[in-house]
Amino acid sequence: MSVLVVGTVAFDSIETPFGSAERILGGSASYFALGASFFAPVRVVGVIGEDFPQDYLDLFAQRKIDTDGVERAAGDTFHWRGRYHEDINVRDTVELHLNVLAGFEPKLPDPYRDAEYVFLGNIDPLMQMEVLDQLRRVRLVACDTMDHWIRTSNDALKKVLRRIEMLVINDSEARLLSGYDNIVKAAREILKMGPRMVLIKRGEYGVLQFSDSSIFATPAYPLEQVFDPTGAGDSFAGGLMGHLARSGDRSQGGLRRAIVYGSVVASFTVEDFGVKRLAGVSLEEIEERYRQFVELTDFHS
Ligand code: AMP
């Protein structure tokens, strides 16, 4: 079962306490697609500019990621510049150039319209909605967003939330969206906005999953060195959705296993700059770290 993602395909310029990188491959759809590609075929909907290098498209092709839905438009590619603090959980957006993303109207190639597992990655909610409108037989829609869209496109985002099953969001965004500081209250408030499930990403502290009837908590895989947290959230969602598409198991246990696979994928992403580690890791390494994760959290009551 394949997974469809819409999101940004970007140039990122990143500064962390451990180094910096200029105009490397980034974007919510890129990280998601690479993360999901270990488990299921992936199709990407997005837009790139004339300056986007063929090497990056080749990298997607090597991981068998279908980029037929990535449009090349006149102009420059979306560019994000971010700086991380000494406390690597905190980052500032220093520059955000939408470039070809401004005014992008996603058009799904016909076979994409039958996608059953769909991730509305971090992008303008109006574009997320346009993708939703083109789907014929979707089974699971998950969605991400960020402070920029919560502030600038709130009404459209609320409409998207009424049509999705799962929201994957980080803790500060959950607070901003809900108006509550307490994370449990924030999750409950977001559940009232539409999604059946909210997954709250808390960086090195892990993930909390909320539904009306349950709460599930997992830590992040403990690492001695985090070089660059960029893309952790998107590759987490990629691992999660990819695993769900592979297993088809939507039981509570199946969802929990998918959350742990997502956490494992994210733990590789942050071990190097950009997509370097994520693009080079093997499925065997992922499975081995998954087993370590199970041991790490083994608890007999
Ligand atoms: P993450 O670290 O998982 O939250 O996602 C980081 C990625 O989001 C980077 O690769 C950026 O290119 C991308 N990004 C940053 N700002 C935005 C935005 N406003 N809309 C969509 N993608 C963004």
Strand ranges inside the chain, DSSP E:
3-6, 10-16, 19-26, 42-48, 65-72, 79-84, 91-97, 117-120, 140-144, 166-170, 197-201, 207-211, 215-218
Task: Answer whether 228 contacts ligand 1 (Cβ < 6 A).
Answer: no
**What does the buried/exposed string (b/e) look like for 207-239 if buried means 16 or more CB atoms within 10 Å of the residue's CB?**
bbbbbeeeeeebebbeeeebbbbbbbbbbbbbb
- Using CA positions, which residue lies closest to atom 20 of ligand 1? 123
C-alpha–C-alpha distance, residues 99 and 25, integer Å: 16
Which residue out of 5, 77, 80 has the highest number of ligand 1 atoms within 8 Å of its CB and is therefore the one to mutate?
A: 80
Q: What pLDDT score was predicted for residue 89? A: 86
Which residue out of 48, 122, 168 has the highest number of ligand 1 atoms within 8 Å of its CB and is therefore the one to mutate?
A: 122
Task: Answer whether 128 contacts ligand 1 (Cβ < 6 A).
Answer: no
Return the CA Rg of the chain: 18
* 86 phi/psi in degrees, rounded to 5: -55, -45
Angle of helix 183-192 relative to helix 171-178, nearest 10 degrees, comes to 60
Task: Answer whether 125 contacts ligand 1 (Cβ < 6 A).
Answer: no
Q: What pLDDT score was predicted for residue 301? A: 72
Task: Answer whether 235 contacts ligand 1 (Cβ < 6 A).
Answer: no
Whole-number Å distance, alpha carbon 29 to ligand 1 midpoint, is 9
- In sign, the C-alpha dihedral spanning 40, 285, 238, 190 is positive
Task: Answer whether 8 contacts ligand 1 (Cβ < 6 A).
Answer: yes
C-alpha–C-alpha distance, residues 3 and 246, integer Å: 9
Q: What pLDDT score was predicted for residue 103? A: 87
- Residue 297, CA distances (Å) to 2, 58, 110 in order: 30, 38, 43
Which residue out of 16, 91, 100, 146 has the highest number of ligand 1 atoms within 8 Å of its CB and is therefore the one to mutate?
A: 146
Q: What pLDDT score was predicted for residue 175? A: 98
Q: Is the backbone of residue 121 left (phi > 0), alpha (psi -120 to 50) or beta?
A: beta
Helix (H, G, I), strand (E, B) or coil at 112: helix
C-alpha–C-alpha distance, residues 131 and 83, integer Å: 31
Q: Which atom of ligand 1 is nearest to the CA of 232?
A: 3
- Using CA positions, which residue lies closest to atom 6 of ligand 1? 231
pLDDT (tens place) for every residue of the chain, 301 residues total: 899 999 999 999 999 999 999 999 999 999 999 999 999 999 999 999 999 999 999 999 999 999 999 999 999 999 999 999 999 989 999 999 999 999 899 999 999 999 999 999 999 999 999 999 999 999 999 999 999 999 999 999 999 999 999 999 999 999 999 999 999 999 999 999 999 999 999 998 999 999 999 999 999 999 998 999 999 999 999 999 999 999 999 999 999 999 999 999 999 999 999 999 999 999 999 999 999 999 999 987 7
* 119 phi/psi in degrees, rounded to 5: -120, 120
Task: Answer whether 10 contacts ligand 1 (Cβ < 6 A).
Answer: yes
Q: What pLDDT score was predicted for residue 300? A: 79
Q: What pLDDT score was predicted for residue 43? A: 98
Task: Answer whether 238 contacts ligand 1 (Cβ < 6 A).
Answer: no
Determine how β-strand 3-6 pairs with β-strand 10-16: unpaired
